Each structure stands twice: as structure tokens, then as C-alpha cells.
Structure 1
């Protein structure tokens, strides 16, 4: 077992999901960064590695600006209690007229205590999934609010 019991990690992950849902509902993604410690290590395979809460805030706000209404819905979770971590699958969903356009993402977070996470790693294939799905959504009538942030395609892990 790690430093924290599973119930505490589960509670923090439920809070994480609630914050993400609220970010989508309000279209304000800045509070997402407050889920992490000030010195968080955030490994994002498409956009590069981020260090620190404010770097995560800047990145998530810019990344979500074209489609701030995107919902990120957790499909499953597995706990790695020995490492105070959780791995979960999500579906990134853009909805239009009751039709969902989505693509998968898998994330691993490490819990640091106090309801905060010290690390997150997102793993998915943005070159294949995101442009195709967002393109289908736009073709159906979805509207981007800004130009999407360029991906760096940094595969360092």
C-alpha cells in the first residue's frame, strides 16, 4: 500500500471528475489546474510535458478554447494503491443535436494528498482521433470558437 488509502484517492478522483464536468458546463477550464500540486508534472503526449500548475492552466485554457463545451467522461478506473495512483479511460465528447462525437483517452494520475494530484500522464493518438472526430463534428455543424492549439507530438515516455 502507498501513503494514502484507496478511499481518499477515490474521493479525490470523484472531485476531479466533478471539476472537469463543471469546467465543461461553464466553459471555463482554468479551475482544472487547481486539481494539481503547484509543482505538478503533466505529461501530455500531443502537446509536450508541462511543469507546474500555472503551465497546466495556460495549456488547458488554450487547448480547450476552440471547444470549451467538450465533455470528458470517465468510462472506467483502475487503482494502483501501491503507488497512490489511478489509471482511467475517458471519452472526449463533443455533442451536436443529440449526437455525440467522441474519442478515447487514457490517463494516469498520482495522488499527493490534500485532494491534489502531483502527476498526470495522458495517452492517446491525437493525430488519428482528434482531427477526425472534431472534423466530423464541424462538418455536422459544430463551431470552433478559436483555431486549435498546435500539437507538438512529443513522445518522450
Structure 2
């Protein structure tokens, strides 16, 4: 077929030569699409880590020409989530006791070392100021040293979420001011459940720049001697000990 172009300014319209062959347009390819028709269930669609692997096709190959558009996809039913290796009811029961102990500590009826019962001996703890702490004994020392002079700080919990063995706890840091008000900052903790009522990992997230601003501007004074975090803390946040 011939396509005519509109004449402009008295210049005759031009004609384009007829298209006699299909245009080789790269197409978007999905992992194993041919073997997984639209009617197949989501469970049959390969996960991200099942994408084709191996050396690239030759440069002259049609596959190579279209490779820049090749995608591998995951459907909502096949997301690569952490497998739930422990019953949810067991995690909920442990989390309930953990939260209850946190509430007792905030009420002045306990200390932070009371939480050690919820951690494995080889626990990895990540603090935003003190960095990485490994092992239950080191975490005990950290809890004593890091909370010295902060007896009037509170850390109320807002909500929790569970996904497999992962637990997220949303909490607020509350620093009292002399005028009766408080400076607050938002914090999150990720814990990994290891079974038998214990967690093997905790990572606390808190904006320390904002915390230091609150300490400087709120008029708050420590309740006793404080300890300074290490100048160069270990910032490794990996789950397993190296």
C-alpha cells in the first residue's frame, strides 16, 4: 500500500514505497510465557529466580536483537517471600509477650535487659547509633551502656506486622521536655523469629540526626551519666554473622 503525504506550499505530495516485508520489531518476552498460557494459575508462573540464564545469544540472532526488552516477571501469587518456617500462632504468642515486656519497661517495672529472654544466644542486633552487636552477652552490655541516663525516655509501640518469620514493630521515641511536652521521633524494628520463643535478629531504624536535634533543643537533661556510642560503629546489617 502507498501512503500519501499532504501537499504544502504548492509542493506536490510525496509517496512512500509500499511495505513489502514485515518489520522486525523487538518484542517483550516473558519468562516461559509459551508454557504458561493466560489461563494457567498464578502458581504455575515461574518466579524471578527462574529467568533464563546462560551466555548471551550470538549478536546476529533474533533473540539477541530483542534481548534488551526481555523481562522476567513475578505475579502476586509467586513473589519470592521468606518462607514461613514457624507457625504464625507461635510467633504471635511470642510477640505478645515481647510487647507486654516492652510496656512494663516503659512503665518503670523492668529494664531493657529483661528483653534478653526473647533473643537467641547468637543474636545479631543492629542499633542506629551503636551499630552491629553480636551475641547475647554483647547485647546485654549494649543495653546497659546505651540506655544509661535515659531512664525517662519512653518507646511506646504503635502496631506490629508479621510476614513469615519476619516481624515489624512500629514505635515512637518520646523525650520529655521541662515544660511537660515531649519531643517525639518515629522508629521501626525488624525482628526475625528463630523458634522456641526467641528472635535471632533485630534491626532498629531511627533518624539519629533528628534525635540529636531533639536532645540539643528540647531542654532535656539525662537522669544520670551517659555513655557515648562508638566513633566508628560496625555498619554491617547482614542477618547472619560473617
Q: Same fold (TM over 0.5)?
A: yes
Please tell me whether the aligned partners of residues 113 and 144 of structure 2 are also in contact (alpha carbons under 8 angstroms): yes
Superposition TM-score, scaled by structure 2 size? 0.56
Within the alignment, does 1:100 sit opposite 2:179 as a pair? no
Superposition TM-score, scaled by structure 1 size? 0.83
1:125 match:
207
2:8 match:
none
Offset at residue 27 of structure 1 (A): 5.9
* Higher RCO structure, 1 or 2 (CA under 8 Å, sep 6+): 1
Which segments of 5 or more consecutive residues in structure 2 lack a partner in the other structure?
1-82, 238-242
CA RMSD of aligned residues (A): 2.1
When residues 102 and 51 of structure 1 are mapped into structure 2, their CA distance, relative to the original with a 3 A threshold, is same
Measured in 2, the distance between the counterparts of 1:58 and 1:110 equals 21
Please tell me whether the aligned partners of residues 189 and 205 of structure 2 are also in contact (alpha carbons under 8 angstroms): yes
Measured in 2, the distance between the counterparts of 1:2 and 1:122 equals 22
2:167 counterpart SS class? strand
Which segments of 5 or more consecutive residues in structure 1 lack a partner in the other structure?
none
2:93 match:
11
**Which has the larger share of helix?**
1
2:163 match:
80
Measured in 1, the distance between the counterparts of 2:94 and 2:180 equals 31
1:69 match:
152
Number of residue pairs aligned between Structure 1 and Structure 2:
152
